[in-house]
Amino acid sequence: MQGVLINSGQSCIAPTRILVHKDREAEAAGFVKAMFEGTQVGDPLQEGGHIGPVVNKAQYEKIQGLIQSAIDEGATLETGGTDRPSNVNRGYYIKPTVFSGVTPNMRIAKEEVFGPVATIMAYDDLDQAIEVANDTEYGLSAVISGDPAKAATVAPKLRAGMVAINNWGPAPGAPFGGYKQSGNGREAGLFGLKDFMEIKAISGLPA
């Protein structure tokens, strides 16, 4: 969940779509709600354990529109919402927001929020979870939490350029990049170096 809040949610690999087995959806919603309600929002120029505003008016309005769309489409607002945090009266501050009951057809499940907003989606079994995880136009990163041995069987099935197990960020030095509308090519690591190399093909050499 720290990956959803860092940089006020403005991280390209923020794991905002949280897939949880239906039997543990309420438990997960309670945990995330408590964490987000305990996250303070305030002036980024002051030291402290709080998050600041989002980058500009356009981004602020986009996030507010996505939050409102989730409310309108029937998701359960666990905490947060479209109002500014109570301790600020101006600026592009977003309340840390959590939704449960989100379904794959909702706008907030299809578009990148790029703000401190978490969406909890329930699944029946692992096959459905993988299907929902891959049902997106993006494919930069994914996260799997739980038994690493079981996670290792799921990771190859996810259409994402980076998969982290029991973490939210890629390992240092790993190639960074994604699939689908998250782009082509890689930065960092051996594959990142190869993107900057020139290749020469020579044919007709003697045996």
- Domain map (residue ranges) of the chain: 1-131, 137-202
> What is the rounded distance in angstroms from the CA atom of residue 92 to the CA atom of residue 73?
24
Q: Give the torsion through C-alpha atoms of 41, 45, 49, 55, to 10 deg.
A: 50
Write the secondary structure of the chain as one string of H (helix), E (strand) and C (coil): CHHHHHHHHCCCCCCCEEEEEHHHHHHHHHHHHHHHHCCEECCCCCCCCEECCCCCHHHHHHHHHHHHHHHHCCCEEEECCCCCCCCCCCCCCCCCEEEECCCCCCHHHHCCCCCCEEEEEEECCHHHHHHHHHCCCEECEEEECCCHHHHHHHHHHCCCCEEEECCCCCCCCCCECCEECCCCCCECHHHHHHCCCCCCCCCCCCC
Rg (C-alpha) for the chain, rounded Å, is 20
Asked if 142 contacts 160 with a C-beta cutoff of 8 angstroms, the reply is: yes
For residue 41, report the phi and psi dihedrals to the nearest 5 degrees.
-120, 135
Fold designation for 1-131: Aldehyde Dehydrogenase; Chain A, domain 2 (3.40.309)
**Can you give the pLDDT of all 207 residues of the chain as single tens digits?**
999 999 999 999 999 999 999 999 999 999 999 999 999 999 999 999 999 999 999 999 999 999 999 999 999 999 999 999 999 999 999 999 999 999 999 999 999 999 999 999 999 999 999 999 999 999 999 999 999 999 999 999 999 999 999 999 888 889 999 999 998 889 999 999 988 899 999 999 998
Q: Which of 95, 57, 75 is nearest to 18 (CA)?
A: 75
- Residue whose C-alpha is closest to residue 91's, from 118, 52, 50, 36: 52
